[in-house]
Amino acid sequence: MRRAGSIPSRRAAGAPDRDADFRGAIGLVAPYFRKYALRLFVGFLALVSVDFLQLVIPRIIKFAVDALQQKTATQALLLEYGGYIVGLAMMIAVLRLFWRNMLLGFSRLLETDLRNRLFSRLLVLDKAFFQRRTTGEIMALATNDLSSVQLASGMGMVALVDAVFMGVAAFLFMAYINPTLTLIAVAPTPVLALLTRFLSARLHRRFKKVQEQFSVLTEFARSTFSTIRLIKAYNQEKPQAARFNELGETYVRDNLRLAVIYGTLFPISGLIGNVSMLLVLFFGGRMIIDQTITAGDFVAFISYLFLMTWPMMAMGWVADLFQRGVTSLGRIRGLLEETPSLQDSRDSDSAGIVRGEISIRGLSFSYPGRRQPALDRIDLDITPGRFLGIVGRTGSGKTTVCHLIARLYPIPDGTIFLDGKDVNGLTLAAVRGAIAYVPQDVVLFSDTVAYNITMGRPDAPMEEIEAAARAASIHDEIVAMKDGYETRIGERGVKLSGGQRQRLAIARALLLNRPIIIIDDGLSAVDMETEHAVIRSIAEYLAGRTCIVVSHRVAPLADAHEILVMEGGRIVERGGHEHLLSRGGFYATIYRQQTNQR
């Protein structure tokens, strides 16, 4: 029996385990570092070469200044030194272009791979996941969070390597010139290290809150635009705008609290660098007066200190980028670790369903988080080629039966069989590949009529597309449109009426030509006469295949081989149309009410 399993928490109650988050983030991106190892090696080699060439320039300047001080400099010698500097600058420009392509290109490739992996994971997750997570949250992961990862793995990683190499190399060159002055210059740096460590934890928490609020903001905007007609109908434009403004102000406040950390780190980093410069100017100037070092050494030392000041200032920026990246990777990892409650096992049978026979044995089911059963001990046999109608009050379990036959939720073993095979022993692809399902909520894409009909069979010939449209009683309306089957129907089919959208979805299902078709109240937006005509047309089109139609209106189901009446998750009546009328139960009562018969 396959049931949803909860993912164990990776942290105890209380403060977040930052070390675990970091290890998880590294584990997530490590395969991509191995995949692009050669690209990274070449890129970092070019980056280090640029840094090394930058370190050579102060030495050339030292020789030039010493020559000027000693009055041995000539115009030719100065031009020679200038030529060396120009040559080095040109080499630096070429290598810098190269490492940017290699390393920043890697960050874009990483972003693309993670986005593809995220999208692929979303495609296999089932309905239970999308009931827990909002579309806005998922969109935030695919935009803001991936952008943070890209920055951390691009400029963040470059700045870290650049800062470490340049800082260490500049320190060694400074120490070579004068160890004492070097110790004076680096004396303030421990303050920066302590400050960075102190602020990084707060940076992590505040950035996570910012990302979560961005998810809320995105979801609110999405839901507003998707329900814009309802909002206008209820004259709710101003309240919605006020609510959006309130969410935006919260997002701004969270960003400002984050900016306090970010704004503290950079100025203090710059202050510490400038304090080091002040100390060098004071003590280094005295050393020149005492002739402990030459003017050329002092100029070179100042140049190296400038080179080392960048790493000191960059550490705050790097810490910010990496904290953002780790936080975002943690959020992305949470989604990638989601597992569908329905999964194929190694021994699942992938053989296709051919006949369309359905058997249900003692099926009881409760939705996750609910105690009240949606279905209670259902037994049902549908032989191939039968037309089954299902009616009942709202909440009686009609849609749940459709969901479970279509394998949208996990069920106990031995409860649903297709062609005599337990569905839990079949692959999901085998089960769903045998069923054409038309849900209550019609989903259409902002594309052409033909694209929406052929979604499941993009290579279907035009004559089959038209035949399916005729069976769904929508062909004549399509050809009456300006561009016929090439008419673009707008976002979610906004240019079509509710009945047209539903019949288009039915045509899509019919075109799949599968042994089982399920229409779950898929004609609620058309009048009873049209519904009856469509169902009769569908029955003729699907001759020899199993058809299940759920409807709140009973008259259109009069031609069904068998009709089920559901109440409270159980089958309370079953039989043909005339049989149910003669019993005088719920079916007969509803039929008379809907047809105005006494």
Q: Which of 7-16, 24-33, 352-361 has the weakest average pLDDT? A: 7-16
pLDDT score of 1:
39
Beta bridge partners of 353: none
pLDDT surpassing 60 at residue 14: no
pLDDT score of 361:
92
pLDDT score of 11:
41
pLDDT score of 316:
64
The Cα 550–Cα 519 span in angstroms is 6
pLDDT surpassing 50 at residue 8: no
pLDDT surpassing 70 at residue 331: yes
Confidence band, pLDDT 50/70/90 cuts, at residue 15: very low
pLDDT score of 312:
65
pLDDT tens digits, residue range 314-328?
666 677 778 778 888
pLDDT score of 4:
37
Q: Which of 122-126, 127-131, 387-391, 457-461 has the weakest average pLDDT? A: 127-131
pLDDT surpassing 60 at residue 13: no
Confidence band, pLDDT 50/70/90 cuts, at residue 2: very low
Greater confidence (413 vs 193) lies with 413
Strands 375-382 and 358-365: antiparallel
Mean pLDDT rounded to a whole number for the chain: 83
pLDDT score of 189:
74
pLDDT tens digits, residue range 412-429?
889 999 988 898 888 888
The mean pLDDT of 570-585, rounded to a whole number, is 87
The Cα 454–Cα 509 span in angstroms is 9
The residue whose two tokens read 């078709």 is 517
pLDDT tens digits, residue range 520-530?
887 777 777 77
Length in residues, the chain: 598
Contact partners, residue 76, CB within 8 Å, separation at least 6: none
pLDDT tens digits, residue range 204-219?
677 778 877 887 888 7
pLDDT score of 17:
55
pLDDT score of 106:
93
pLDDT score of 367:
85
The Cα 140–Cα 484 span in angstroms is 38
Greater confidence (91 vs 25) lies with 91
Confidence band, pLDDT 50/70/90 cuts, at residue 283: confident
pLDDT tens digits, residue range 387-414?
899 998 888 888 899 999 988 888 888 9
Greater confidence (161 vs 90) lies with 90
Confidence band, pLDDT 50/70/90 cuts, at residue 313: low
The Cα 2–Cα 356 span in angstroms is 23
Burial letters 428-456, b for 16+ CB under 10 A, else e: bebbbbbbbbbbeebebeeebbbbbbbbe
pLDDT surpassing 70 at residue 240: yes
pLDDT score of 401:
92
The mean pLDDT of 283-288, rounded to a whole number, is 83
Greater confidence (136 vs 12) lies with 136
Task: Answer yes or no: are the C-beta atoms of 559 and 479 closer than 8 Å.
Answer: no
For residues 158, 163, 168 and 174, what is the CA-based torsion angle, rounded to 10 degrees? 130
Greater confidence (479 vs 8) lies with 479
The mean pLDDT of 470-495, rounded to a whole number, is 86
Task: Answer yes or no: are the C-beta atoms of 483 and 511 closer than 8 Å.
Answer: no
The mean pLDDT of 361-368, rounded to a whole number, is 88
Q: Report pTM.
A: 0.69
Using alpha carbons, list the distances in angstroms from residue 377 to 66, 147, 220, 397, 401. Answer: 97, 50, 40, 12, 12
pLDDT score of 24:
75
The mean pLDDT of 258-279, rounded to a whole number, is 76
pLDDT surpassing 90 at residue 91: yes
Greater confidence (265 vs 432) lies with 432
pLDDT score of 170:
81
pLDDT score of 109:
93
pLDDT surpassing 60 at residue 376: yes
pLDDT tens digits, residue range 519-560?
888 777 777 777 888 888 887 787 788 999 988 888 778 888
Contact partners, residue 18, CB within 8 Å, separation at least 6: 201, 204
